[in-house]
């Protein structure tokens, strides 16, 4: 994978669930982190990749990067804001 310019603190794979559980699992993983830490989310194309980044932004967190794995999945990188 390319050099991201930041260090990932935790990873979560939500490819085995559907919306809205994708967001719930992502939010739970973010809750475990401290402010400023980075979460990598392995996520499916379609509704999840459309809804999770939007919902995360609405929660006040920062979407750093979204990488298309070109296999129907993406890597979403989120910085936790606030605690």
Q: What is the pLDDT of residues 44-76, one digit of tens each?
A: 999 999 999 999 999 999 999 999 999 999 999
Distance CA(4)–CA(7), nearest Å, equals: 8
* pLDDT for 3: 80
Distance CA(14)–CA(32), nearest Å, equals: 16
- Cβ atoms of 9 and 17 within 8 Å: the answer is no
pLDDT above 70: residue 37: yes
Distance CA(17)–CA(80), nearest Å, equals: 22
Confirm whether pTM is higher than 0.85: yes
Give the tokens for residue 31.
């809750």
19, 24, 33, 66: which one is catalytic? 19
Q: Is 19 assigned a catalytic role?
A: yes
* pLDDT for 2: 61
């Amino acid at each position: 994978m390319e050099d991201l310019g930041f260090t990932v603190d935790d990873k979560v794979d939500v490819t085995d669930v559907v919306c809205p559980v994708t967001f719930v699992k992502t939010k739970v993983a973010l809750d475990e982190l401290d402010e400023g830490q980075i979460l990598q989310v392995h996520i499916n194309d379609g509704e999840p990749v459309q809804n999770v980044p939007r919902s995360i932004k609405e929660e006040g967190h920062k979407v750093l990067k979204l990488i298309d794995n070109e296999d129907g999945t993406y890597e979403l990188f989120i910085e936790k804001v606030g605690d």
